[in-house]
């Protein structure tokens, strides 16, 4: 705890003592992240305020600072002062402001601490402004100056330096897979059942969220069981297995590229045909949509969510499910990065309708769903933990209304936040991944 406080103090100190040159560098970095599309967006906001009620932060706090238009205005005002002629000549007229130290403090507080980059404001914006991507650009400028809140930055640093965001050593990963494989063999009653590693030429390369290896090994077992039932030709990588990419959250494109590049490297080294991303919302958005842009290259292989793969297995009859094995009422939380920003919307519903007896939707859902509050790197930034829990009240209320006992969600960040909401709001629910639910419903072909 004392160490956390010390890190926090150092951060505050650095923030307060930024030199004019450093602030200038932040501006230049910000400029480099502004594309012509972003520049157009920055000229568009009419301050209509209709976005306010779309944001879970504003809805739960009613603080003006949490209105998306306000958060965007922090970015726009700096953009105008630095890069717009009217803003430079008539700053008071158009609200153009310098990137002063108080402004940087507000950037940190609002752009990191009041936004999960969920994109709900964008679909509710009259103009359609991509607010989370603009906020990410501003976060990225702060990242280059070392002004990312410490918890989030250390997650990125760990991933960049150690190969995965939990810093799991290769031998520990291999050991985990080994004991999970033994458990799988016992569970399916087949000593030949495998959790293959580094199989050259396997059709599928499957990635995981390192939190699964550390805290949720059942998620890995579940995936292994499904692959076993589907007789899939697949493999893990012993080196590059991390689907997460917190660079999406701190805005550091270079670090993001390093992390996602490792999966590309694994695909090429192992000569696999398809990259399968585990249930991880931001990991999906990063590796499916953003990574080719960070790496400035087209991939020579398809990148799919495991949900798309499960859908294929069900449609082809490659796995057989018995929904009566999941009797409890199940509802679904849609992770923003997978659904609203990722386009994986119906697969999870299709799967759940095959895998559980009683599936109920929460409202609103799909791309209109509310963020749980755990995205945008919030779980890594302890300084904003209280705000995160309060912002999660919308999700807690949504869940309560469904009356479901189980909340399925294909994202480990969401799972962590939902677990905290479960405790904080006394929801009395169980939280599972889709693959875990599928694994529970599997009818194994015992005849081989």
Closer residue to another protein (CB): 153 or 304: 304
Is 443 a residue that touches another protein (CB under 8 A)?
no
Is 364 a residue that touches another protein (CB under 8 A)?
yes
Is 43 a residue that touches another protein (CB under 8 A)?
yes
Position among 293, 322, 328, 445 found at the interface with another protein (CB under 8 A)? 293
Is 56 a residue that touches another protein (CB under 8 A)?
no
- Of 262, 341, 261, 263, which is closest to residue 293 (Cα–Cα)? 261
Closer residue to another protein (CB): 141 or 195: 141
Q: Where are the alpha helices (DSSP H) in 55-129?
A: 56-61, 68-83, 85-89, 91-94, 101-106, 120-124
Is 175 a residue that touches another protein (CB under 8 A)?
no
Tokens standing for residue 358 = 């009683």
Q: Return the residue matching tokens 């890069």.
A: 83
Listing from the earlier edge strand, what are the strands of the sheet with 204-206? 234-235, 204-206, 274-277, 303-305
Site for another protein in 58-87 (CB under 8 A): 64, 67, 69-70, 73, 84-86
* Beta carbons of 330 and 352 less than 8 angstroms apart: yes
3-class DSSP state of 369: coil
- The CA-to-CA distance between both ends of the chain, in Å, stands at 54
* Beta carbons of 329 and 405 less than 8 angstroms apart: yes
Q: Tell me which DSSP letter residue 236 carries.
A: B
| Cβ within 8 Å of residue 316, ≥6 positions away | none
* Beta carbons of 407 and 431 less than 8 angstroms apart: yes
Site for another protein in 12-31 (CB under 8 A): 31
Is 154 a residue that touches another protein (CB under 8 A)?
no
Cα dihedral 301, 305, 309, 312 sign: negative
Peptide bond preceding 443 in cis form (omega within 30 of 0): no
- Overall size of the chain counted in residues: 448
Q: Tell me which DSSP letter residue 203 carries.
A: S
Closer residue to another protein (CB): 17 or 36: 36
Shortest spacing between CB 294 and another protein, in angstroms: 9
Site for another protein in 316-355 (CB under 8 A): 339-343, 345-347, 349-350, 353-354
Position among 10, 14, 16, 47 found at the interface with another protein (CB under 8 A)? 47
* Beta carbons of 127 and 227 less than 8 angstroms apart: no
Closer residue to another protein (CB): 86 or 385: 86
Burial of 205 (0-12, 13-18, 19+ CB in 10 A): buried
Q: Which stretch binds another protein (CB under 8 A): 46-54, 104-112, 172-180, 387-395?
A: 46-54
Closer residue to another protein (CB): 50 or 214: 50
Shortest spacing between CB 129 and another protein, in angstroms: 6
Burial of 86 (0-12, 13-18, 19+ CB in 10 A): exposed
Site for another protein in 373-412 (CB under 8 A): none
Is 295 a residue that touches another protein (CB under 8 A)?
yes
Closer residue to another protein (CB): 95 or 146: 95
Is 52 a residue that touches another protein (CB under 8 A)?
yes
Site for another protein in 182-241 (CB under 8 A): none
Closer residue to another protein (CB): 42 or 193: 42
3-class DSSP state of 99: coil
Is 32 a residue that touches another protein (CB under 8 A)?
yes
Is 111 a residue that touches another protein (CB under 8 A)?
no
Closer residue to another protein (CB): 180 or 263: 263
Q: Which stretch binds another protein (CB under 8 A): 11-19, 32-40, 216-224, 250-258?
A: 32-40
Q: Return the residue matching tokens 């919307």.
A: 345
Is 292 a residue that touches another protein (CB under 8 A)?
yes
Position among 302, 327, 424, 426 found at the interface with another protein (CB under 8 A)? 302
Position among 26, 115, 118, 129 found at the interface with another protein (CB under 8 A)? 129
Is 107 a residue that touches another protein (CB under 8 A)?
no
Is 419 a residue that touches another protein (CB under 8 A)?
no
């Amino acid at each position: 705890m004392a160490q956390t406080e010390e890190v926090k103090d150092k951060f505050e100190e650095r923030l307060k003592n930024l030199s004019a040159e450093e602030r200038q560098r932040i501006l230049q970095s910000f400029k480099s992240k502004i594309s012509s599309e972003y520049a157009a967006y920055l000229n568009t906001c009419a301050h209509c305020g209709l976005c306010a009620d779309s944001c879970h932060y504003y809805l739960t706090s009613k603080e003006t600072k949490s209105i998306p238009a306000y958060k965007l205005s922090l970015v726009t005002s700096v953009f105008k002062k630095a890069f717009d002629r009217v803003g430079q000549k008539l700053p008071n007229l158009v609200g153009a402001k310098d990137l002063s130290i108080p402004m940087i403090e507000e950037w940190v507080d609002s752009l990191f601490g009041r936004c999960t980059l969920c994109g709900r404001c964008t679909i509710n914006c009259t103009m359609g402004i991509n607010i989370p991507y603009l906020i990410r650009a501003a976060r990225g400028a702060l990242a280059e100056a070392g002004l990312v809140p410490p918890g989030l930055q250390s997650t990125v640093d760990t991933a960049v330096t150690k190969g995965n965001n939990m810093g799991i050593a290769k031998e520990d990963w291999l050991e985990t897979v080994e004991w999970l494989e033994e458990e799988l063999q016992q569970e399916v009653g087949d000593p030949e059942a495998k959790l293959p590693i580094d199989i050259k030429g396997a059709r599928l390369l499957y990635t995981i969220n390192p939190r699964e290896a550390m805290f949720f090994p059942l998620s890995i077992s579940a995936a292994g069981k499904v692959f076993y039932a589907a007789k899939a030709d697949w493999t893990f990588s012993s080196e590059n297995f991390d689907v997460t990419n917190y660079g999406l959250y701190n805005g550091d494109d270079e670090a993001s590229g390093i992390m996602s590049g490792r999966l590309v490297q694994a695909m090429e080294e192992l000569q696999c045909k398809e990259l399968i991303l585990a249930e991880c919302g931001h990991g999906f958005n990063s590796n499916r949509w953003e990574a080719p842009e960070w790496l400035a290259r087209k991939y020579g292989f398809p990148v799919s969510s495991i949900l798309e793969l499960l859908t294929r297995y069900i449609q082809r009859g490659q796995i057989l499910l018995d929904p009566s094995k999941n009797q409890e009422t199940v509802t679904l939380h849609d992770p923003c990065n997978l659904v609203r920003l990722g386009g994986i919307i119906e697969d999870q519903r299709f799967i759940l309708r095959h895998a559980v007896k009683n599936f109920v939707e929460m409202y609103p859902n799909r791309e209109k769903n509310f963020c749980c509050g755990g995205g945008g790197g919030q779980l890594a930034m302890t300084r904003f933990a209280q705000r995160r829990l309060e912002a999660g009240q919308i999700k807690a209320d949504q869940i309560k209304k469904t009356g479901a006992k189980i909340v399925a969600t294909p994202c480990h960040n969401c799972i962590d936040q939902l677990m905290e909401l479960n405790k904080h709001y006394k929801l009395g629910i169980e939280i599972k991944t889709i693959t875990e639910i599928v694994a529970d419903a599997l009818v194994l072909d015992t005849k081989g």
